[in-house]
């Protein structure tokens, strides 16, 4: 057996993948243990991946509950905090794979990938797909290139984001698809091969501290609202699956507004295949995107009770693929060069774009970290920002520099300045912290707007600061220190 170099924890929940024939009834029931499932995949023994196996539940997918999944999330977190696991695989029934994956993704705060898989054909049928899916899921969970992407679904050698995947066929082994954007990667020749952009991760969600009952109401042709009225007083919140981009019959608007005065009401599309980005809105009444009553897009309508904030989630727009560029001839080698490249570059996949304002008295870098944490932004660019600082520290020195080629670690203190700047946001995979790098041009208002330009170290906002933040979803942007260049942290891609 090959020596293990990566370790994966496997949790078995039941479902078609571990069903066998019941000798009494003749039907199939979940019966195989996690160890028996893995024994059916001999290729794992020579994969170089160590497995930690746990039978967690033995239930059909349709019988799983929120309590089961909350307990599973806690068990996964406990396993990952031991720091000897590189990824997690969940096997379960396919009926609720997309729900399990989405919920686990909301709760998952670690870098290791969590992969959910199952089978469309039970082990008693010809062409059972369970062993191949388990093998692919383990390879994905152990792959370092999928670190930090959250929860994934792997079936049929395709790797899908938990936020976009759907079960789109009742019996086909190729049942799972991501209609808006396709898979992010595939398993080929025992390797993970990227075919799409990696998903950005949203804010971490804690498990609820109380039980709540939410209803799902689907708008239908000729809907007169009578069934909608039955929800009043019988749920703590309501999700409305509306027509098209979020249209509801005019007859429902009054009832929805009435419900929204007491409970959160979220309007979404029943289609499930749309190119919009996740958006947050909160308003007391529908805002219309066309002149017809009841016409409201899911990105612009949320009916909420005061004090609640509703998030409207929809698949991210697929990134437009660009045609390949012609290769340019390599420049002649520099005979004085050590051979190491001096320039690093990488084509970027851009995610969301934000407009951000910081208020009077806020610490600039603390406010920036809070914004990134609340919105799940791990890396990106700040193309520009404008604002004023009551006080700030920037890199600079008044005395003669002992070594003009070395970085300046000293700082100078300025007050009452107008500022214009830009920067980058990198990610520290060891701590999960955001590493901002900001440069600023500052005019000292009390000194005829005399200017200073340097690296911003700290700042306290005066009146306001206004920023544009552009999220980068791939490649990974880190800032390791270069021991050969005065230990300066340098932006690195991939």
> Taking Cα atoms as reference points, which of 192, 195, 148 lies closest to residue 494?
148
Q: State how far the Cα of 151 lies from the Cα of 130, in Å rounded to an integer.
A: 19
Pick from 468, 456, 462: which is nearest to 362 by CA?
462
DSSP 224-264: -SHHHHTTTTT-SEEEEEEBTTTB--HHHHHHHHHHHTTS-
Q: Please provide the size of the chain in residues.
A: 494
Q: DSSP secondary structure string, 129-179?
A: -HHHHHHHHHHHHH-GGGTTS-EEEEETTEEEETTT-EE--SS-TT-EE-T
* Token pair in block for residue 455: 């690296």
Burial class (CB in 10 A: 0-12, 13-18, 19+), 53: middle
Name residue, tokens 């330009």.
Answer: 453
Please give the C-alpha separations between residue 203 and each of 115, 200, 238, 350, in angstroms, as whole numbers. 19, 10, 22, 18
Q: How far is CA 81 from the centre of its chain?
A: 20
User: Phi and psi for 185 in degrees, rounded to 5?
Assistant: -160, 165
CA gap 175, 463 in Å, rounded: 54
List, in order, residues 6 or more apart from 492 with CB less than 8 Å away.
344, 477, 478, 479, 480
Four-residue CA torsion sign, 116, 8, 433, 428: negative
Q: CB-side exposure of 92: number of CA atoms within 13 Å?
A: 26
Catalytic residues: 16
Helix axes 66-80, 97-107, angle to 10 degrees: 50
Tokens of 326: 């012609």
Q: Which 8-state DSSP code applies to residue 454? A: E
């Amino acid at each position: 057996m090959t020596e293990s170099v990566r370790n994966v924890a496997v949790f078995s929940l039941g479902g078609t993948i571990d069903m066998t024939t019941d000798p009494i009834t003749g039907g199939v029931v979940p019966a195989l243990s996690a160890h028996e499932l893995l024994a059916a995949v001999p290729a794992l023994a020579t994969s170089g991946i160590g497995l930690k196996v746990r039978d967690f539940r033995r239930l059909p997918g349709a019988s799983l509950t929120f309590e089961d999944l909350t307990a599973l999330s806690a068990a996964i977190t406990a396993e990952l905090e031991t720091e000897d696991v590189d990824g997690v695989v969940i096997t379960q029934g396919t009926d609720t794979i997309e729900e399990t994956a989405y919920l686990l993704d909301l709760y998952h705060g670690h870098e290791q990938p969590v992969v959910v898989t199952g089978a469309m054909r039970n082990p008693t049928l010809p062409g059972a797909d369970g062993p191949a899916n388990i093998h692919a899921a383990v390879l994905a969970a152990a792959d370092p290139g999928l670190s930090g992407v959250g929860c994934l679904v792997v079936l049929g050698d395709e790797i899908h984001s938990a936020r976009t995947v759907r079960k789109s066929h009742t019996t086909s082994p190729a049942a799972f698809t991501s209609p808006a954007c396709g898979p992010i990667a595939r398993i080929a020749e025992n390797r993970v091969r990227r075919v799409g952009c990696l998903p950005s991760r949203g804010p971490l969600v804690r498990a609820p501290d109380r039980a709540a009952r939410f209803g799902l109401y689907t708008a239908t042709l000729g809907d007169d609202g009578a069934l909608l009225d039955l929800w009043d007083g019988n749920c703590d919140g309501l999700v409305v699956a509306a027509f098209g981009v979020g249209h509801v019959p005019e007859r429902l608007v009054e009832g929805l507004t009435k419900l929204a005065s007491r409970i959160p009401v979220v309007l979404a599309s029943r289609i499930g295949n749309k190119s919009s980005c996740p958006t947050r809105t909160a308003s007391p009444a529908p805002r219309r995107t066309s002149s017809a009553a009841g016409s409201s897009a899911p990105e612009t309508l949320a009916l909420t009770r005061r004090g609640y904030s509703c998030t409207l989630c929809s698949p991210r727009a697929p990134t437009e693929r660009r045609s390949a560029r012609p290769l340019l001839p390599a420049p002649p080698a520099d005979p004085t060069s050590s051979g190491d490249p001096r320039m690093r570059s990488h084509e970027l996949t851009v995610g969301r774009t934000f407009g951000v304002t910081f208020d009077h008295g806020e610490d600039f870098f603390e406010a920036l970290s809070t914004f990134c944490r609340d919105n799940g932004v791990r890396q990106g660019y700040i193309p520009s920002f404008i604002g004023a600082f009551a006080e700030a520290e920037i890199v600079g020195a008044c005395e003669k520099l002992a070594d003009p080629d070395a970085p300046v670690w000293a700082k100078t203190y300025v007050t009452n300045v107008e500022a214009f700047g830009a920067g980058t946001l990198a990610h520290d995979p060891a701590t999960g912290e955001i590493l901002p790098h900001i440069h600023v041009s500052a005019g000292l208002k009390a000194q005829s707007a005399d200017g200073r330009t340097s690296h911003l170290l700290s700042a306290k906002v005066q009146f306001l600061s206004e920023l544009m933040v552009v999220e980068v979803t791939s490649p990974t942007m880190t800032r390791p220190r270069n021991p050969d260049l005065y230990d300066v942290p340098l932006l690195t891609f991939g």
